[in-house]
Amino acid sequence: MDATLPQDDTWTVAGRRFSSRLIVGTGRYKDLEETGAAIAASGAEIVTVAVRRVNLSDPKAPMLQDYVDPKKYTYLPNTAGCHTANEAVRTLRLAREAGGWNLVKLEVLGPPPTLYPDMPGTLEAAEALIKDGFEVMVYTADDPVACKRLEEMGCVAIMPLGAPIGSGLGIQNAAMIWMIREQTKVPFLVDAGVGTASDAAIAMELGCDAVLLNSAIAHAKDPIRMAKAMKLAIEAGRQAYLAGRMPRRLGADPSSPLTGLIR
Amino acid sequence: MAANQHVGPSLPVRLRVPILPRMQTAVTLTLNGEARAFDGPMTVAALLATLGLETRKVAVERNAEIVPRSSYAGTWLESGDALEIVHFIGGG
């Protein structure tokens, strides 16, 4: 690591401490080999994973664990594809049994084409999961009232979208992300919407503790290079946030002295 | 009725019905949405072994309830049971 970066700039979620502020998904890659290489290049310590039926006709097919070592990376099971609270809770109970840990990412989605978070379903599932002992990182609408409610219920991280899942549109709601950041005391992440490195940097400059993304890396022409770009962007955005940006002003303010000009 | 006595030592009462016969009988299960027949009686552990699955990489739900890994060997399957056998795959 660069000597100018503070060595102790870590963040903690549900009592687990991490150095990397980039959480990456493991979906949509060409193959498992590329998945493993891109994740290594991203420097991520947490990876999201989906829970799906085993293909019983091919039980010896290569598995994600063979390429993304669960001993090295913290697996964060998600509920992608779940459109009701009941589906999400069942999925995460299975994930807890398969993985043996209780830190999970909850998402209850509305219909296409937006797959926008279904907040009644999300609140219902979050309540059931917390009661059942889960530590819930929650994907949510950029709704400050719902986000506050989820935090008060005991969610361990609040994760609004910057734009619809897989859209790559970037942070479309910077002002709202900033306002929710201000009111949130648990870890706060942008989850979904990042399309390229500058989007990740913007999320970090807004004060996010971390960023969660998948498609921006997996669907880049060169996913491994983009993974590296994201790592750098997250670090750059974090440093810029800590450094504190200059104020915006309407009009120029010359950088060179106005005295001593030749005449 | 020795032939009809339950073979496991410490199963919950509800698992003792129907009483398991000692001779082999077919057990018809719905596995991940597909009907499959097996020679029974059979436990979850035996089913996973028959399917060639590593128990530490999968999780099992039987009739919408989790079967804890520690109970695989003691959980007897009954015809009509619906099982979901899942694992982790790539996802965002």
Pairing assessment for the beta strands A22-25 and A210-213 based on DSSP bridges: parallel
Q: How far is CA A130 from the centre of its chain?
A: 20
Across chain A, mean pLDDT equals 94
Active site (catalytic) residues of A: 105
Contacts of A139 in chain B (CB under 8 A): none
Give the residue-averaged pLDDT of A30-38: 93
- How far apart are alpha carbons A8 and A17 in whole angstroms? 11
Under an 8 Å CB criterion, which residues of B touch A? 31-34, 51-53, 57-61, 64, 66-69, 84-92
Query: What's the pLDDT at B1?
Result: 41
Compare all CA atoms of chain A with the CA of B65 and give the residue at the minimum distance. Answer: A90
Query: What's the pLDDT at B55?
Result: 85
Closest Cβ–Cβ partner in A78, A93, A166 for B66: A93
Residues of A (122-151) whose Cβ lies below 8 Å from B: none
Classify residue B9: in a domain, yes or no. no
- How far apart are alpha carbons A135 and A103 in whole angstroms? 5
Compare all CA atoms of chain A with the CA of B86 and give the residue at the minimum distance. Answer: A53
A64–B84 CB contact, under 8 Å: no
Classify residue B72: in a domain, yes or no. yes
Range of the domain at B48: 25-87
- How far apart are alpha carbons A205 and A71 in whole angstroms? 31
Which residues does residue A167 pair with via DSSP β-bridges, in sequence order? none
Find, among A11, A61, A3, the residue nearest to A32 by Cα. A61
pLDDT, tens digit (0-9, with 9 covering 90-100), for A133-184: 999 999 999 999 999 999 999 999 999 999 999 999 999 999 999 999 999 9
Classify residue B33: in a domain, yes or no. yes
Closest Cβ–Cβ partner in A49, A97, A215 for B89: A49
Classify residue B5: in a domain, yes or no. no
- How far apart are alpha carbons A13 and A137 in whole angstroms? 9
Classify residue B3: in a domain, yes or no. no
Number of domains in chain B: 1
Classify residue B7: in a domain, yes or no. no
Q: How far is A118 from chain B (nearest CA, A)?
A: 17
pLDDT, tens digit (0-9, with 9 covering 90-100), for A118-147: 999 999 999 999 999 999 999 999 999 999
First to last CA, chain B: 55
Look up the CATH number of the domain holding residue B29.
Answer: 3.10.20.30
Classify residue B32: in a domain, yes or no. yes
List all residues 6 or more positions away from A80 whose beta carbon is below 8 Å from its beta carbon.
A27, A50, A107, A109, B91, B92
In the predicted structure, residue A116 carries a pLDDT above the cut 50: yes
